[in-house]
Amino acid sequence: MLLLFVAGIIAMLCLPLPGVGAAGDRDALLYKVEILIPPKEGRDENADIQQIKQTVEDLKDIKVIFAFKELGNPSIVLVLDVEEACSWPQLTGFLSRKGYEFSVASLYRCSDYSNRLGFNLPDDAWTYSFQDENLAMVTKVFPVGDLSTLEYNERLKMTFQQDLAILKSGQKGVCFRILAEYPVELVYFAPVSQMKVEAIDESLASPGLYENEVKRIQNLANYTAVCQGD
C-alpha cells in the first residue's frame, strides 16, 4: 500500500520518511513515487509531463533508478534512491506547487527478500536498465487468507522460483517489494510487447494465489508528446 506523503512538513523538518527500515538497511533508502496530474481546465498535460521530466533529470543527491510514464494516463512512476531526507524538497516542493497528486512507498529489493525466505535469487539476475522498449509494470498482491506463516512464505518462495526460471529463459525484468507488513505486494518492471502483455495478463490470472494488475509504461526519458499514440 501506498503511503500518503505530507510533503510540506517533511520538507521543512527534513525528517526520515514514513515506512523507512532500520538504520543500516541498504534498501531503506529506496522509494517508489507515483505522480498523477489531475485533470484541470486549460491544463497542458504534455507540457506538465515535460516539466516533471526535466525536474527529475535535474535532481541532486537523489539517484533516479527508474522513471516511467504510464501509457494512456497522465501518471509518472519513479524509483528513487534517496540518501538524505533533506534532498526531497527538490521534488516534493515542485510537485506541491504544481498541485499534482503524489504518494510515496518504501521499497525492498526482491532478491534480498527472497534470500531471507531461504531461496537464493541473485540480484544480478535482474535488469536495472531498460532501453527504448515496450515495458510493463506488474503488481502482485498476495492475500494472507487462512495460510500459516510457513505456508505463506512457501507461496512467495515458489513465486521467486518461477521468476528465476523466467529470467534464465532470457526475459529481462526487475522486482521490488513494497516495504510494509501484510499482505505482501511485489512490483515488477519488464520489457514486453503488446502481445506479451496480454499473455502475461492471462498467466497472472491465478485465483487464490495473488491479485495482479498490469500497466503499460515507457521510459520517461523517451516521452515526447501525446500525439504519438500515448
Let me know: does 178 contact 32? Beta carbons within 8 Å. yes
Domain count, the chain: 2
User: Do 97 and 146 belong together in one domain?
Assistant: no
Please check the confidence at residue 23 and state whether its pLDDT lies above 50. no
Same-domain check for residues 10 and 72:
yes
Q: Are residues 121 and 214 in the same domain?
A: yes
Indicate if 119 and 215 belong to the same structural domain: yes
Looking at per-residue pLDDT, the higher value among 1 and 224 belongs to 224
Which pLDDT score, from 0 to 100, does residue 208 have?
62
Asked if the structure places residue 228 within a domain, the reply is no
- Shared-domain flag, residues 139 and 199: yes
Per cent of the chain over pLDDT 90 is 57
- CATH code (residue 50): 3.30.70.1060
Most confident of 5-9, 127-131, 195-199: 127-131
- Residues 99, 123 within the same domain: no
Q: What gap in Å lies between CA 223 and CA 197, rounded to an integer?
A: 20
- CATH number of the structural domain spanning residue 139: 3.30.70
Q: The domain containing residue 79 runs over which residues?
A: 3-106
Q: Do 75 and 120 share a domain, yes or no?
A: no
| Residue 166 and residue 91 share a domain | no
Of the segments 38-47, 154-163, 189-198, 203-212, which one has the largest average pLDDT value? 154-163
Mean pLDDT of the chain: 82
> pLDDT tens digits, residue range 164-223?
998 998 889 999 999 988 899 999 999 987 556 665 655 555 556 788 899 999 999 888
What pTM does this model have?
0.83
Same domain for 73 and 156? no
| pLDDT of 15 higher than 50 | no
pLDDT in tens, 91-124: 999 999 999 999 999 999 999 999 999 999 999 9
pLDDT of residue 11: 37
Task: Report yes or no on 197 lying in a domain.
Answer: yes
- Pick the last residue of a domain from 79, 106, 133: 106
Tell me, what's the pLDDT at 196? 64
Residue 227 lies in a domain: no
Say yes or no: 36 and 76 in one domain.
yes
Same domain, 186 and 154: yes
β 174-178/135-142 pair status: unpaired
